[in-house]
């Protein structure tokens, strides 16, 4: 599983027995199930969550609507969910927490999210959508508080999901503001049901029921009408008014004093409500307002008291804008409208306490294993020393969990100068910089990490080194091994075979045996070296070893990577029938693990096509190769897109379609102009360009190209060395 899960985010918030029944709105929610999306968009305090929760409680009690079995999935969003991997992980987990859910969904999608080089979100969602489509029951999925999401990547992912949503699934979004989704298009297609503030406002009859029955007042019809008019049916305003009216003898006079906009009314009523609370409760509310979720001991850590749970229970009984998050009522959150104003007041009255409160919250979360929250609290107050310390302690866990979208975001949230002081964080920053094309930053991070590690080592005598804590020595060796590993990947990308071999060997000599991901990658890379040299037996053995090691470790990504390299090796060895069987088996495995739309699986299709072409089944081979190219191009992985086009060029060469070859070569050249295409891909392309010119009799062009680049056998040049090592692929 990719990340730790807060199960309280997945519960349908329980409703109170004494609430206003709204059958008309319930019926509209039910009717909306025939469409893809129901949008509840209204400002805070209009009862969006309460309405949906009440409806869903009835559904869950009956387990069906109109005779159809229903599953309910709920996800309460917060600011931390703007990380795409976290959002999708919670989304998939919520699906599997749905009422009555028996079949696990989304394992393949979760595997994709944990890949060290994350796949495009459309690929991940395609796998998930295909699985959802197999569920016979109707699924109702609620995304609550969607206004807290400002990530365009998540908006895009949700748009893709909506446009391809299976007919058995319905999505409900509750939000304070319209989400950045294509609502106009959804309306035009008849896919959207909308409930807005005008729909959610209390009518006069509902206001009367709420004030006199739910809130226990005895207001006259005139007072109710006046209050409903002044609050414009705004439920939160009515609740605040009721709280301020409780115990007040002259209710009519107080009601007549309400005036102005909702915001002005709200500010006034909040003052009245807070002023009616004892001082210790006021302090409790302000001090705990920095929290998104509250539980007794966490509140105690902030207030210095020992009765946090009792206070939360009392606030719950008093209906003071607090919402339970679980059936046991151990976890709560404040109403968003209430918490915004509490935080505003805290910053006005006690700005000096804000930093201390976040520090205490960070400390409590760290002690209780909620490391994400601990880091976020530190980042909110820009306590970078604390954030760096927590990141150092947590970074390996995040890496092992496959948090390859969250981790780069956290690393970039602190000044790079602080990252550069920590060799462990430098290594991770270097990796993410390398795979994102920031080669200068990657090199800077590697140099700083090496400098720090060398300084630590040089400061000890041999005797002191021997006396060091074995765990410290092991960590230093691990970091050195990872630095060498990244340098070998950089060398491979640059076409520097000498550097690749040197750094890869250093990595294998240094990396601990349990560091399986890095060792597996290095084993695959060394297999490439043997292949470049033409030693296909050694290449096959190295790649087979990497494949077995990755499979044993459950590392699906590297297993797929090694399998694609094994297929390349078998083609070069002429084991064509074995290659076909192997590729077909690996494509099936990729599909089972949710990798059917990954660049690795796409490349396997290309290799399968190339193999059939080698058996002179040119048209069938071309169809398979084009299927693979379409998959790789969707993912945008330049290595497999480029390598796949080289395979297509080979097939076209066999077919004698020189025009198509020219088009593919031009396409690769355009890619190289716009992106950082690996040098060895361009080297292969250059070889095929020369072969094409020679076949076409364009000797002058070939000669001019060679002269311009001083093509010779000087293998000290990394690019020329790469070209020569790769000649075995076309001879």
| pLDDT tens by residue, 495-535 | 677 888 899 888 888 888 877 778 888 888 888 777 767 78
pLDDT in tens, 78-101: 988 998 989 999 999 999 888 555
Task: Flag the least confident range among 274-278, 331-335, 412-416.
Answer: 274-278
C-alpha–C-alpha distance, residues 551 and 562, integer Å: 10
Q: Is the pLDDT of residue 383 over 70?
A: yes
Q: Is the pLDDT of residue 727 over 60?
A: no
Q: Which of the pair, 577 or 227, is modelled with greater confidence?
A: 577
Residue 567: predicted pLDDT: 92
Confidence of residue 642 (pLDDT cuts 50, 70, 90): confident
The total of other beta-carbon atoms located within 10 Å of residue 719's CB is 16
pLDDT in tens, 144-189: 999 999 999 999 999 999 999 999 999 999 998 889 999 999 999 9
CA-wise closest residue to 174 among 140, 201, 146, 205: 146
The total of other beta-carbon atoms located within 10 Å of residue 302's CB is 24
Residue 713: predicted pLDDT: 40
Q: Quick one: 7-200 is in which CATH superfamily?
A: P-loop containing nucleotide triphosphate hydrolases (3.40.50.300)
Residue 367: predicted pLDDT: 93
Mode of pairing for the β-strands spanning 37-41 and 192-196: parallel
Return the domain boundaries, the chain: 7-200, 204-275
Residue 319: predicted pLDDT: 62
Task: Flag the least confident range among 195-204, 228-237, 634-643, 713-722.
Answer: 713-722
Residue 459: predicted pLDDT: 46
Residue 718: predicted pLDDT: 39
Cβ within 8 Å of residue 88, ≥6 positions away: 109, 113, 121, 124, 125, 157
Query: What average pLDDT does this structure show over 215-237?
Result: 82
Q: Is the pLDDT of residue 374 over 90?
A: yes
Cβ within 8 Å of residue 389, ≥6 positions away: none
Q: What does each C-alpha distance from 161 to 332, 599, 630 come to in angstroms?
A: 30, 21, 20
Could you write out the DSSP letters of every residue in 245-310? HTT-S-HHHHHHT--S-HHHHHHHHHHHHHHTS-HHHHHHHHHGGG-SSB-HHHHHHHHS-S-HHH
Residue 433: strand pairing partners: none
C-alpha dihedral (80, 86, 91, 92), degrees to nearest 10: -160
Three-state DSSP at 631 gives helix
C-alpha–C-alpha distance, residues 250 and 232, integer Å: 22
pLDDT in tens, 100-111: 555 578 887 887
pLDDT in tens, 693-707: 878 888 777 667 656
Confidence of residue 716 (pLDDT cuts 50, 70, 90): very low
C-alpha–C-alpha distance, residues 153 and 157, integer Å: 6
pLDDT in tens, 391-414: 998 888 888 776 777 888 889 899
Confidence of residue 337 (pLDDT cuts 50, 70, 90): low
Residue 265: predicted pLDDT: 57
C-alpha–C-alpha distance, residues 679 and 677, integer Å: 6
Three-state DSSP at 74 gives strand
C-alpha–C-alpha distance, residues 568 and 539, integer Å: 10
Helix, strand, coil percentages for the chain (3-state, nearest 5): 70, 5, 25
Distance of CA 62 to the CA centre of its chain: 35
Q: Which of the pair, 327 or 543, is modelled with greater confidence?
A: 543
Residue 728: predicted pLDDT: 34
Burial of 348 (0-12, 13-18, 19+ CB in 10 A): exposed
C-alpha–C-alpha distance, residues 39 and 180, integer Å: 12
- And the tokens for 724? 């020569």
pLDDT in tens, 345-366: 899 889 999 999 999 999 999 9
Residue 461: predicted pLDDT: 42
Q: Is the pLDDT of residue 582 over 90?
A: yes
Task: Flag the least confident range among 323-337, 463-477, 638-652.
Answer: 463-477
Residue 308: predicted pLDDT: 94
Residue 364: predicted pLDDT: 96
Task: Flag the least confident range among 15-24, 241-250, 547-556, 574-583.
Answer: 241-250
Residue 237: predicted pLDDT: 79
Confidence of residue 287 (pLDDT cuts 50, 70, 90): very high
C-alpha–C-alpha distance, residues 55 and 69, integer Å: 15
Confidence of residue 294 (pLDDT cuts 50, 70, 90): very high
Burial of 375 (0-12, 13-18, 19+ CB in 10 A): buried
Q: Is the pLDDT of residue 714 over 70?
A: no
Confidence of residue 239 (pLDDT cuts 50, 70, 90): confident
- And the tokens for 21? 């029944």
Q: Which of the pair, 427 or 710, is modelled with greater confidence?
A: 427
Confidence of residue 269 (pLDDT cuts 50, 70, 90): low
Sign of the alpha-carbon torsion through 526, 529, 531, 537: negative
Query: What average pLDDT does this structure show over 594-600?
Result: 79
Q: Which helix (H) or strand (E) holds 385?
A: helix 384-400
pLDDT in tens, 449-502: 998 888 755 544 444 444 555 555 778 888 999 999 999 888 877 767 788 889
Residue 192: predicted pLDDT: 95
Query: What average pLDDT does this structure show over 666-695?
Result: 78
Residue 721: predicted pLDDT: 46
Per-residue b or e along 634-667, where b marks 16 or more CB atoms closer than 10 Å to that residue's CB? bbebbbbbbbbbbbbbbbbbeeebeebbeebbee
Q: Mean pLDDT highest for which of 23-37, 549-563, 697-711? A: 23-37
Q: Is the pLDDT of residue 35 over 80?
A: yes
Mode of pairing for the β-strands spanning 332-334 and 322-324: antiparallel
Confidence of residue 203 (pLDDT cuts 50, 70, 90): confident
């Amino acid at each position: 599983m990719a990340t730790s899960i807060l199960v309280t985010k997945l519960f349908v918030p329980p409703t109170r027995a004494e609430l206003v029944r709204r059958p008309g709105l319930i019926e509209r929610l039910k009717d909306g199930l025939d469409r893809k999306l129901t949008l509840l968009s209204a400002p805070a305090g209009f009862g969006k969550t309460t309405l949906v929760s009440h409806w869903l409680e009835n559904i869950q009690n009956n387990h069906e609507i109109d005779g159809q079995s229903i599953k309910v999935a709920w996800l309460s969003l917060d600011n931390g969910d703007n990380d795409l991997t976290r959002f999708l992980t919670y989304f998939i987990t919520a699906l599997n927490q749905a009422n009555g859910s028996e079949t696990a969904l989304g394992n393949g999608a979760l595997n994709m999210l944990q890949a060290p080089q994350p796949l495009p979100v459309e690929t991940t969602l395609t796998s998930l959508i295909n699985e959802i489509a197999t569920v016979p029951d109707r699924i109702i999925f609620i995304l609550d508080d969607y206004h807290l999401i400002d990530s365009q990547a998540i908006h895009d992912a949700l748009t893709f999901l909506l446009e391809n949503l299976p007919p058995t699934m319905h999505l409900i979004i509750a939000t304070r503001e319209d989400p950045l989704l294509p609502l106009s298009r959804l309306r035009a297609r008849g896919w959207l049901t909308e409930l807005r503030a005008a729909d959610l406002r209390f009518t006069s009859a509902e206001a009367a029921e709420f004030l006199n029955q739910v809130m226990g007042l005895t207001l006259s019809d005139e007072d109710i009408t006046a209050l409903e008019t002044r609050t414009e049916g705004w439920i939160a305003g009515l609740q605040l008014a009721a709280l301020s009216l409780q115990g007040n003898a002259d209710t009519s006079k107080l009601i007549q004093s309400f005036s102005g906009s909702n915001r002005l009314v709200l500010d006034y009523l909040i003052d009245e409500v807070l002023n009616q609370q004892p001082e210790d409760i006021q302090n409790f509310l302000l001090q705990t307002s920095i929290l998104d979720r509250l539980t007794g001991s966490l509140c105690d850590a902030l207030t210095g008291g020992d009765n946090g749970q009792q206070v939360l229970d009392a606030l719950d009984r008093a209906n003071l804008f607090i919402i339970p998050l679980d059936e046991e009522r151990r976890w709560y959150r404040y109403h968003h409208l209430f918490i915004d104003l509490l935080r505003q007041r805290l910053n006005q009255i006690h700005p000096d306490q804000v930093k201390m409160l976040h520090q205490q919250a960070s400390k409590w979360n760290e002690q209780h294993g909620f490391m994400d929250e601990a880091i976020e609290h530190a980042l909110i107050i820009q306590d970078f020393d604390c954030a760096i310390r927590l990141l150092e302690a947590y970074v390996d866990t995040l890496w092992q969990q496959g948090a390859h979208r969250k981790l780069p975001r956290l690393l970039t949230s602190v000044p790079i100068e602080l990252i550069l002081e920590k060799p462990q964080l430098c290594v991770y920053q270097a990796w993410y910089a390398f795979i994102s094309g920031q080669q200068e930053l990657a090199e800077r991070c590697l140099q700083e990490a090496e400098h720090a590690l060398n300084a630590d080592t040089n400061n000890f005598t041999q005797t002191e080194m021997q006396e060091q804590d074995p765990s410290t020595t092991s960590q230093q060796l691990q970091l050195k091994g990872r630095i060498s590993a990244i340098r070998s990947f950089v060398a491979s990308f640059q076409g520097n075979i000498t550097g690749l071999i040197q750094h890869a060997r250093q990595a294998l000599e240094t990396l601990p045996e349990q560091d399986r991901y890095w060792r597996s990658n290095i084993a695959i890379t060394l297999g490439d070296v043997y292949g470049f040299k033409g030693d296909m037996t050694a290449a096959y053995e190295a790649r087979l070893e990497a494949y077995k090691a990755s499979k044993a470790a459950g590392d699906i990504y590297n297993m797929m990577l090694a399998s694609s390299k094994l297929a390349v090796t078998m083609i070069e060895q002429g084991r064509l029938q074995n290659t076909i069987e192997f590729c077909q088996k690996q494509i099936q495995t990729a599909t089972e693990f949710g990798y059917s739309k990954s660049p690795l699986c796409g490349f396997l299709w290309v290799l399968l096509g190339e193999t059939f072409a080698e058996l002179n089944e040119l048209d069938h081979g071309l169809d398979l190769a084009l299927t693979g190219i379409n998959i790789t191009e969707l993912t945008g992985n330049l290595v497999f897109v480029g390598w796949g086009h080289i395979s297509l060029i080979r097939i076209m060469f066999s077919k004698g379609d020189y025009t198509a070859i020219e088009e593919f070569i031009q396409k690769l050249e355009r890619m190289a102009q716009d992106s950082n295409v690996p040098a060895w891909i361009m080297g292969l392309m250059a070889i095929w360009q020369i072969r094409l010119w020679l076949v076409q009799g364009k000797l002058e062009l070939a000669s001019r190209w060679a002269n311009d680049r001083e093509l010779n056998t000087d293998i000290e040049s990394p690019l020329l060395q790469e070209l020569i090592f790769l000649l075995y692929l076309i001879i």
